[in-house]
Every structure is written in C-alpha cells, then in structure tokens.
Amino acid sequence: MKALQIAIPRWNITELNGYEPITTFWQDFSIADKFGDKAIADTYSRAKSEWKDNYKYWTELCLVLNHKIWQWHERDNQRAILYDKLWREADEMTSEWSDEKQEYYFQVTD
C-alpha cells in the first residue's frame, strides 16, 4: 500500500506579526483542503465542538480561517467563500466574550 503524502504549505504567521502558533489548526485545515469542502466543514465542526470554550485556541482558529481565505481567494473562489463563511461564524462567537478575552483576540488578530 502506498502512503498518502500531503504537502502542507508553510504558514508564515510568526514572520508576519510575531504570533507563535499553539495549535495544529493550520495543518489540520491544510490537510482538509486536499479532501474538499466537506472535509473543511467537518474540520471546522470538530474544532468548534472541541475548542469553542478555549479563547486562545479559538483566536488562532479565527486567524487560520482568515489566512485560508487569502490563500484561496485567487485560485478557488468557492473555497475562499466557504472559509469566509466559517470565519464570520467563528468571529461572531467572540462578540460574547469578556473584555479580557476580546482584548487578547484583537491583539492577536489585528
């Protein structure tokens, strides 16, 4: 049996803004990208069910979704639209957070 090989694009977030990733969300969604929109939606659903109450992880999820929009916007507009939909939902959930958690979110994502 041949092993499945998936090239995961490098996420240069640390060079862009100094943020050091604390999850595998970038890798998870990069793998899902290879299997299509259903896999992307499933990856989001799993992340949401597991991590919606962890504001630091959720912040990174929003950051990854936003970067995925930009990754796909010129090559696959439908995929970019899916990532935008997921990002908007995830971002909206942060509006219910305490001021302290929202401050962290804006500091990381701005």
14-55: pLDDT as tens digits: 999 999 999 999 999 999 999 999 999 999 999 999 999 999
16 occurs within a structural domain? no
66 occurs within a structural domain? yes
Q: Provide the domain limits for residue 58.
A: 22-109
Report how many domains make up the chain: 1
Separation between Cα atoms, residue 109 and residue 52, nearest integer Å: 17
66-95: pLDDT as tens digits: 999 999 999 999 999 999 999 999 999 999
Query: Does pTM top 0.85 for this prediction?
Result: yes
Separation between Cα atoms, residue 71 and residue 3, nearest integer Å: 26
14 occurs within a structural domain? no
Type of residue at 49: S
